[in-house]
Amino acid sequence: MHKKVTFRGVALPLALLLPQLAITAVFFLWPAGQALYQSVLRQDPFGLRTTFVGLANFERLFSDPLYLNAFQVTLVFSIAVTAIGLSLALLLAVMADRVIKGASGYKTLLVMPYAVAPAVAGVLWWFLFNPSIGLFAHALRAVGVDWNHLLNGDQAMILVVVAAVWKQISYNFLFFLAGLQAIPKSLIEAAAIDGAGPFKRFWTIVFPLLSPTAFFLLVVNVTYAFFDTFQIIHATTSGGPGQATTILVYKVYSDGFVGLDLGGSAAQSVVLMAIVIVLTIVQFRWIERRVQY
Amino acid sequence: MVENRPVLTILRHLVLGLGVVIVLFPVWVAFVASTHPQAALMSGAAPLLPGDRLVENYSRLLASGMSQAGGTPVGLMLLNSFIMALLIATGKIAVSLVSAFAIVYFRFPFRMVAFWIIFLTLMLPVEVRILPTFEVIADLGMLNSYAGLTIPLVASATATFLFRQFYLTIPDELAEAARMDGAGPMRFFRDILLPLSRTNIAAIFVIMFLFGWNQYLWPLIVTTDESYTTIVMGIYRMVNVSDEQPQWHLVMATAMLALLPPVVVILVMQRLFVKGLVETEK
Amino acid sequence: MAGIGIRDVVKRYGDTKVIHGVSIDVADGELIVIVGPSGCGKSTLLRMVAGLEDITGGEVSIDGRVVNRLEPKDRNIAMVFQNYALYPHMSVYDNMAYGLKIAGLSKEAIRARVDKAATMLQLQPYLDRKPRQLSGGQRQRVAMGRCIVREPAAFLFDEPLSNLDAKLRVQMRLEIRQLQRSLGTTSLYVTHDQVEAMTLADRLVVMNAGVAEQIDTPMNVYLHPATTFVAGFIGSPAMNFMPGRLGADGRAVTLDTGAPLRALPEPIAGHGEKAVTIGVRPEHLTLVGSEAAELTLRVGVVETLGADTLVHGALLDKGQAVVPVAGEGGEVLAARLPGNVAVREGDTLPLRVVEGALHVFDRETGRRLADV
């Protein structure tokens, strides 16, 4: 964090920071403050009068079965996306690590989904699972599964999880690969000389050394599942059917923008911001620790 | 690997091959669909092999767009996306380069406060505080403008962080030597720091270009004027048509066009991209 | 009179004082080497002269002008850094020219100066190369060249040779010495390598824990170390230290083991009988017949260097018991014997101290005992 050498002056560094700080203040801090402020107010239906209601919005929120449902949906969704995404990526990275012919070719292709917008990823899978013409829907029907995510909430959830995992796999893969390649070859060789076979080596040497990377990816993936997947849901299921795929961040949007419940939406924003801040601090701690070594 | 086991090698190829198929399959199917006439996608399973309408579908889209989506030509959407991505990437890099410089190379009151403000608040995704942010944009009269589309996204914790990390790896002696040579802070920034940051700038440019190109909710809410439609949000308007089946062949063609530029960028600049991505977070 | 004056300079970081009032006068054209272990404050002192660190107290003057408040660029100095600090993206030419460009010299003047320095340093063929395309020695020369072109009042060197391999270090050491002589530029040179310090310096400053323990010519520092620290730091292998007593006459010296050593040639007057630390350099011990022995060494490790043989072992008293010694390898005595001496582990060697080679230090203060 600290340089031994510094330049003198106060005005110059502040001027250099000004653009960033100004944008942050106007488009981040101010709205966040507004959300905080509105979360303790309630507007009458005609928007004529606002009254201070204290924590009533939060009380209402946490006694609202729909909101609690969104919490549960988010939990299921995040756990599924994180667990599946990480295990698949780890498997692929372990396979692509070390020299096998064509490793760089595989890597090039596996990196591709990162470039695809989540919304587009959602639409691609939406099309594959389309109940009337989707290839996967047809294939599933052939083995006796009646696929219709427009009606079946569980199936809609599976669909968004698949799209979200697909989109995130490149990112996880690249980080696992970088982590694997940072493990000194001599360690693996030492273990081999000690008589450990490939699988034993993986579990006793490689995996523990990879755990910092894995932890970092865990946090990143939870953040991703909580917030960045909004696009996928918005572009495909719109939170439905019923509320089966309404995750928290989608609910903030739909209650606020569509339902125009200012106080309720603001309270939801505040809850989400608290979650983000916790995740960010955890992540930042990790980064700082890594930086020192 | 330490030992060479043919069985393991085959397993590796098998797993990786399967991974690649999973990754590529949706894109392939979308491409195939975009080369067929609408009739081929009305009933039954979607085709697996390309049809003969490639040129026709794409030229129609680029020129006049889809009637269901208000007829905005996809060419214009691509242009909008391109402008937006370029402005955001350039802006983020410019803003972050100087912020990181101030944070690393100066000591001033509230330095750590500034640091934390940047890192904490920028982590708040737009989706979380969408309503109040929208109000700010509306109050500032920035709806339906490139300024509204890009300026709020120009502040960047990620890029600032990357440049900060990079500056920290530059030996202190270089700044000292520059001071002995009589270079002031801005001269040092221009003559030494910027040229040394070239690779990092390129790497972060790739990432931020993708970030800008793939924006979705933000353009969706700050623009209502069709002429500002970007390609990624355009897809939403095409899929969510009321009462009828989407024109899948055109939707898929649009999806192909939406993902082609970023995919090309990522493939061409792969080394830079991977470096930028992995080192930002390391 | 382009000298450097350092007067009672103090450096403090918060509550920690790292330099405790150091004064050095560097005469015009002189090369002074500051030597000391890492953390002794030598680099900090140099950086204060350079203007890279603030001066907490005292005064630094260059060329007769107090520079405490001046920016580095206004101090009329140039500095060679430990890792050279060459701008990696600039050619050799641009590296040398950068400071001159900022100073606003004309293109022709810059070219003339750089060409002259490059010729002097045999860098002409490399002017268009980038630093990474150069060898370590060449980079070192570019760093020198960057200083020379500025034609400063003084050169500052911060451990400039520590990144080179041993052979190159010797060669560059000579080059720096020749260059400094022929340019006649006042120089301050920091190193932790005592050989470098001895060979380069007109005068040495031995620093320890923020204090200049001794300032003198290399030979005087070697022959008359002012403190046990200096005595132990300069010379390799390090001086052996043994507890002993100075007799009331100021000449008789006895080890605490009871063994008398040869009396001092010149008495140290005015101390009376006193507990002292006796220092003997390994090269001042010679092998003698057992009847003439002052010390008996039981051989532990033998290092054969060709020209010399280094013997490390335990000092024995008359009853063959081991006596503690503070020497190079801990509590052992070291002796540098001729290369043709055949010794083996376990041998007992009778040794005698060369005439006039005893160093006597106050046991309390560690200072060299002198006439009071």
| pLDDT tens-digit series, residues C232-273 | 999 888 899 988 899 888 888 888 877 788 888 888 888 888
Instruction: Kindly state the percentage of chain A with pLDDT values over 70.
Output: 92
Distance (Å) from the alpha carbon of C78 to chain B's nearest alpha carbon: 7
Kindly tell me if the per-residue pLDDT of C53 is higher than 60.
yes
The Cα B105–Cα C30 span in angstroms is 36
Instruction: Kindly state the percentage of chain A with pLDDT values over 90.
Output: 22
Identify the CATH number of the domain in which residue C249 sits: 2.40.50.140
Across the interface, whether the CB atoms of C73 and B174 are under 8 A apart is answered no
Same domain, C177 and C319: no
Distance (Å) from the alpha carbon of B95 to chain A's nearest alpha carbon: 6
Kindly tell me if the per-residue pLDDT of B24 is higher than 50.
yes
Question: Can you spell out the DSSP letters for B222-281?
Answer: H--SGGG--HHHHHHHHH--SSS---HHHHHHHHHHHHHHHHHHHHHTHHHHHHHHHHHH
Same domain, C21 and C59: yes
Across the interface, whether the CB atoms of A117 and B259 are under 8 A apart is answered yes
Question: Does C370 fall in a domain?
Answer: no
> Of the candidates B173, B181, B196, which has its C-beta nearest C98's C-beta?
B181
Q: What is the mean pLDDT of residues B238-242?
A: 71
Partners of B251 on chain A (C-beta within 8 Å) are 123, 127
**What mean pLDDT is reported for chain C?**
90
Same domain, C314 and C352: yes
The residue in chain B having the minimum alpha-carbon distance to the alpha carbon of residue A224 is B125
Same domain, C26 and C139: yes
User: Which chains would you list as touching C if contact means 3+ CB atom pairs under 8 Å?
Assistant: B
The residue in chain C having the minimum alpha-carbon distance to the alpha carbon of residue B174 is C85
Q: What is the mean pLDDT of residues C308-312?
A: 92
The residue in chain C having the minimum alpha-carbon distance to the alpha carbon of residue B198 is C89
Q: Give the pLDDT confidence score for residue A289 in this predicted structure.
A: 61
Across the interface, whether the CB atoms of A126 and B239 are under 8 A apart is answered yes
Token pair of B119, please?
A: 């890192």
Q: How confident is the model at residue A276 (pLDDT cuts 50, 70, 90)?
A: confident
> Virtual CA dihedral for C61, C63, C65, C69, nearest 10 degrees?
-60
Q: Give the pLDDT confidence score for residue A46 in this predicted structure.
A: 67
Question: Does A28 fall in a domain?
Answer: no
Q: Give the pLDDT confidence score for residue A5 in this predicted structure.
A: 67
Q: How confident is the model at residue B242 (pLDDT cuts 50, 70, 90)?
A: low
Helix axes A207-223, A153-181, angle to 10 degrees: 140
Question: Does A14 fall in a domain?
Answer: no
Whether the CB of C4 is below 8 Å from some CB of chain B: the reply is no
User: Which chains would you list as touching B if contact means 3+ CB atom pairs under 8 Å?
Assistant: A, C
Whether the CB of B186 is below 8 Å from some CB of chain A: the reply is yes
Instruction: Among C231, C246, C270, give the residue marking a domain's end.
Output: C231
**What mean pLDDT is reported for chain A?**
84
Q: Give the pLDDT confidence score for residue C89 in this predicted structure.
A: 92
Q: Which long-range contacts (CB under 8 A, 24 or more apart) does C260-263 make?
A: C260/C294, C261/C294, C261/C353, C261/C358, C262/C294, C262/C352, C262/C353, C262/C355, C262/C358
Same domain, C53 and C171: yes
Instruction: Among C207, C231, C255, give the residue marking a domain's end.
Output: C231
The Cα A120–Cα A232 span in angstroms is 8
Across the interface, whether the CB atoms of B179 and C52 are under 8 A apart is answered yes
pLDDT tens for B32-58 read 988 888 777 777 777 888 878 888 888
Question: Can you spell out the DSSP letters for A50-75?
Answer: EEE-TTHHHHHHHT-HHHHHHHHHHH
Q: Give the pLDDT confidence score for residue A172 in this predicted structure.
A: 93
Question: Does A52 fall in a domain?
Answer: no
* Least confident window among A53-57, B251-255, C75-79: A53-57
Domain carrying residue C58: 4-231
Q: Give the pLDDT confidence score for residue A292 in this predicted structure.
A: 38
Question: Can you spell out the DSSP letters for A73-99?
Answer: HHHHHHHHHHHHHHHHHHHHHHHHSS-
Q: How confident is the model at residue B69 (pLDDT cuts 50, 70, 90)?
A: low
Check: complex ipTM more than 0.95: no
Residue C283 carries which side chain, given as an amino acid letter?
Answer: E
User: C306: Cβ–Cβ under 8 A, 6 or more apart, which residues?
Assistant: C339
Kindly tell me if the per-residue pLDDT of A265 is higher than 50.
yes
Kindly tell me if the per-residue pLDDT of C9 is higher than 90.
yes
Q: Give the pLDDT confidence score for residue A15 in this predicted structure.
A: 92
Question: Does C372 fall in a domain?
Answer: no
Alpha helix (H) residue ranges in chain B: 6-33, 54-64, 74-105, 111-121, 130-139, 146-150, 157-169, 172-180, 185-188, 194-196, 198-213, 217-222, 231-239, 248-268, 270-281
Enter the DSSP assignment of C327: B
Kindly tell me if the per-residue pLDDT of B282 is higher than 50.
no
Q: Give the pLDDT confidence score for residue C329 in this predicted structure.
A: 53
Partners of B183 on chain C (C-beta within 8 Å) are 98, 102
Q: What is the mean pLDDT of residues A52-65?
A: 85
All domains of chain B in start order, with CATH: 74-242+257-281 (1.10.3720.10)
Domain count across chain A: 1
Kindly tell me if the per-residue pLDDT of B203 is higher than 50.
yes
The Cα A68–Cα A13 span in angstroms is 46
Q: Give the pLDDT confidence score for residue B3 in this predicted structure.
A: 58
Question: Does C341 fall in a domain?
Answer: yes
Q: How confident is the model at residue A291 (pLDDT cuts 50, 70, 90)?
A: very low
Which of B160, B187, B157, B158 minimizes the C-alpha distance to B101?
B160
Across the interface, whether the CB atoms of B258 and A28 are under 8 A apart is answered no
Question: Does A5 fall in a domain?
Answer: no
Across the interface, whether the CB atoms of B262 and A272 are under 8 A apart is answered no
Question: Does A40 fall in a domain?
Answer: no
Same domain, C293 and C333: yes
Across the interface, whether the CB atoms of C79 and B177 are under 8 A apart is answered yes
| Longest CA pairwise span in chain A (Å) | 78
Kindly tell me if the per-residue pLDDT of B257 is higher than 60.
yes
Partners of A38 on chain B (C-beta within 8 Å) are 132
Domain count across chain C: 2
**What mean pLDDT is reported for chain B?**
84
Identify the CATH number of the domain in which residue C120 sits: 3.40.50.300
Across the interface, whether the CB atoms of A265 and B131 are under 8 A apart is answered yes
The residue in chain B having the minimum alpha-carbon distance to the alpha carbon of residue C80 is B177
Kindly tell me if the per-residue pLDDT of C348 is higher than 80.
yes
Q: What is the mean pLDDT of residues C4-31?
A: 93
Q: Give the pLDDT confidence score for residue C290 in this predicted structure.
A: 83
Q: What is the mean pLDDT of residues C58-75?
A: 91
Domain carrying residue A138: 57-292
Identify the CATH number of the domain in which residue A203 sits: 1.10.3720.10
Across the interface, whether the CB atoms of B180 and C77 are under 8 A apart is answered yes
Question: Does C317 fall in a domain?
Answer: yes
Q: Are A95 and B236 in contact (CB under 8 A)?
A: no
Kindly tell me if the per-residue pLDDT of C139 is higher than 90.
yes
The Cα C43–Cα A23 span in angstroms is 43
Measure Cα distances from A85 to A169, B21, B133, B269 in Å.
6, 16, 32, 25
User: C106: Cβ–Cβ under 8 A, 6 or more apart, which residues?
Assistant: none
Q: Are A173 and A110 in contact (CB under 8 A)?
A: yes
Same domain, C125 and C36: yes
Question: Does A31 fall in a domain?
Answer: no
Cis peptide before C237 (omega within 30 of 0): yes
Full-model pTM? 0.83
Q: How confident is the model at residue B244 (pLDDT cuts 50, 70, 90)?
A: low
Q: Give the pLDDT confidence score for residue B1 in this predicted structure.
A: 46
Question: Does C371 fall in a domain?
Answer: no
Greater model confidence, B5 or B167: B167
Whether the CB of C49 is below 8 Å from some CB of chain B: the reply is no
Q: Beta strand pairing status for C274-280 and C359-362?
A: antiparallel
- Mutation for testing the C interface, residue in B181, B187, B199 having most C CBs under 10 Å: B181
pLDDT tens for A128-182 read 998 888 888 888 888 888 888 888 889 999 999 999 999 999 999 988 988 888 8
Greater model confidence, C115 or B241: C115
Partners of B176 on chain C (C-beta within 8 Å) are 50, 52, 72, 79, 81, 85
Q: Are C357 and C291 in contact (CB under 8 A)?
A: no
Question: Does C63 fall in a domain?
Answer: yes
Same domain, C189 and C264: no
Kindly tell me if the per-residue pLDDT of A3 is higher than 90.
no
- Mutation for testing the C interface, residue in B107, B170, B180, B198 having most C CBs under 10 Å: B180
Question: Does A232 fall in a domain?
Answer: yes
Question: Does A10 fall in a domain?
Answer: no
